[in-house]
Amino acid sequence: MTNPEPLTLTPRLARIFARGRAFLGTEIPIMCGAMTWISEANLVALMSNLGAFGSLAAGNMPPDLFAAEVRKTKELTAQPFAANLITIAPNYRAHLDILCSAWLSHIVFAGSIPRRSEVEQAKRSGAKVLCFASNPSIARRMVDYGADALILEGSEAGGHIGHVSTAVLLQDVLFEFADEVPIFVAGGIAHGGMIGHLGLMGAAGAQLGTRFVVAEECKAHPRFKDVFIKARAREAVATPQYSSKLPVVAVRALQNAAMEEFGHLQLRLLRQLEAGEINRQEAQYAVEHYWVGSLREGAVAGDVERGSLMAGQSVGLVNKIQPLREILKDLIDAADHAVARVERLLPDRG
């Protein structure tokens, strides 16, 4: 594999994002979110080889396959990259052991709150640890556990989401914790201008997912990408929770038969819970099993009606398929333009 020439930032962006660049060990502090079935070795390695930062999606991959995917990614790039662990996945502990043995540069904990001992295990391997924080109390706990950086992901994001918008998290967490640890912002971001303004607010960088689905090199099915290009922002909707007896993490995706079927699945599981046929853990596992399989049908097999179409509201800003290098270049140019505009508005410092 011939590595591509990496992209570079302008001097003003390099200055604003110095902290994020140093933390990630990359030229460009733009992370590709870990998307199950999509963020695989080839896309992750290309992101990193282009000067940005890839994040491998562990999902609930069988341990031997996940280990092979980590090895493949390391063979394709000598640059830093992360792997994203889902703390509620049945294979989570095996995945963590694999990453620690692989001496990965960065490990991301997602899905739920990791234990302090798990954060410490990751750090002992030499990895820098990133944790998601959906409110100030979780941010404080993760920093106290030893997290080296935080990711704020607003409810505008695709896939499994929290309850709070990016705009509120910026005020609630970024402004309060940015002096303590680097903070990367995600959720609803697809325009470089937003990335530039996030840097001016104190963010170390940004994480995007939906925008990278339509990269030429992304292995998502062409029909999956085509739906993204045609979709409007308001069509990416979040699933409801029907009862507290079956707590589910909301999922944001484009409305189709798979979303409707998830509603029916919740109702069936609730009836089984009430009848004592299953317990809550079994019901929640059935929910996650549904999404993993449904997303594969959409993203890999291209069944855009019965398969899940997980997408953030930024899908309304996605309008064409481009090479990944071109997408990153567009993001950098727009970020620089936005920062330059702000500079022109500021008084002359003489």
DSSP per-residue codes, 83-129 = EEEETTSTTHHHHHHHHHHHT-SEEEEESSPPPHHHHHHHHHTT-EE
For the chain, which residues make up each domain, given as ranges? 11-220+317-344, 232-299
Residue 59 neighbours by CB under 8 Å, 6+ apart? 36, 37, 86, 89, 292
CA distance 84 to 184: 14
Q: Are residues 153 and 161 in contact, defined by beta-carbon separation less than 8 angstroms?
A: yes
Beta strands, E only, 136-186: 149-153, 159-160, 183-186
Measure CA 106 to chain center: 14
pLDDT attached to residue 349: 61
Q: What is the pTM of this model?
A: 0.94
- From first to last of its 350 residues, the chain has per-residue pLDDT tens of 568 999 999 999 999 999 999 999 999 999 999 998 999 999 999 999 999 999 999 988 899 999 999 999 999 999 999 999 999 888 999 999 999 999 999 999 998 899 999 999 999 999 999 999 999 999 999 999 999 999 999 999 999 898 999 999 999 999 999 999 999 999 999 999 999 999 999 999 999 999 999 999 999 999 999 999 999 999 999 998 888 888 888 889 999 999 999 989 999 999 999 999 999 888 888 888 888 889 899 999 999 999 999 999 999 999 999 999 999 999 999 999 999 999 999 887 65
Residue 226: count of CB within 10 angstroms of its CB: 14
| C-alpha triplet 192, 323, 109: angle, nearest 5° | 60
Which CATH code, of 3.20.20.70, 1.10.599.10, 3.40.640.10, 3.30.70.590, is assigned to 11-220+317-344?
Answer: 3.20.20.70
pLDDT in tens, 247-297: 888 889 999 999 999 989 999 999 999 999 999 888 888 888 888 889 899
CA distance 74 to 78: 6
Measure CA 67 to chain center: 20
Task: List, in sequence order, every residue forming a beta bridge with 150; answer none if it has no partner.
Answer: 131, 183
